Amino acid sequence: MLRISRLTDYATVLLAALASEPDRVQTAAALAGETHIAPPTVCKLLKQLQRAGLVTSTRGLHGGYQLARAAAQISAASILDALEGPMALTDCSAGHGNCEIEGSCRVSRVWQRLNLAIRRALYDVSLAQLAGLDAAPARLPALEREMKAAASRAPSRS
């Protein structure tokens, strides 16, 4: 199953909290209190987000964290890349060349195409949309039905 990690989800929650008050410097402690994420996890994630260039930090008495750029300019893809590295459905779609059957594989092009389509979709969604600060694209009824049908066919995890 394609799924983002809990830490990536938490990082997105932290970024959304920062996006809700873009002109205010927020401390790690304040963000932990607001988001109910454990303070050590908040600190760890903020360091990763800073290294990736998504947030900036200011030291000192009035220090804290802010978004490095406007929420509308931060894509879901850049958040995933910061926490999990570039997305790849398969080894061949990552471009590593580590697959033993790459030369004779009949499905690698399709996996690469799917990987690219998902990546484009992630680039099309901004942090502003994730945070509910910008109008998110309306879900298509056909897609909604397809998602419900897929969920009902999924094996239960018991």
In a domain, residue 81? The reply is: yes
pLDDT of res. 67 = 97
Least Cα distance to 36 among 63, 14, 65 occurs for 14
Name the pTM for this structure: 0.80
CATH number of residue 141's parent domain: 1.10.10.10
Could you tell me if residue 121 is inside a domain? Answer: no
The least confident of 16-30, 71-85, 132-146 is 132-146
Q: What's the mean pLDDT when you consider all of the chain?
A: 86
Q: Is residue 36 part of a domain?
A: yes
Number of domains observed in the structure of the chain: 1
One-character DSSP codes across 79-107? HHHHHH-S--SSHHHHT----TTGGG-SS
pLDDT at 150: 59
The predicted-structure confidence for 47-69, as pLDDT tens digits, reads as follows 999 999 999 999 988 899 999 99
Within a domain: residue 90? Answer: no
What is the gyration radius of the CA atoms in the chain, in angstroms? 19
Higher-confidence residue of 100 and 14: namely: 14
Per the structure block, which two tokens stand in for 137? 């694209």
- Supply the range of the domain harboring residue 75: 6-85+126-153
- Look at residue 130 and tell me if it is in a domain: yes
Is 149 part of any domain? yes
pLDDT at 158 over 60: no
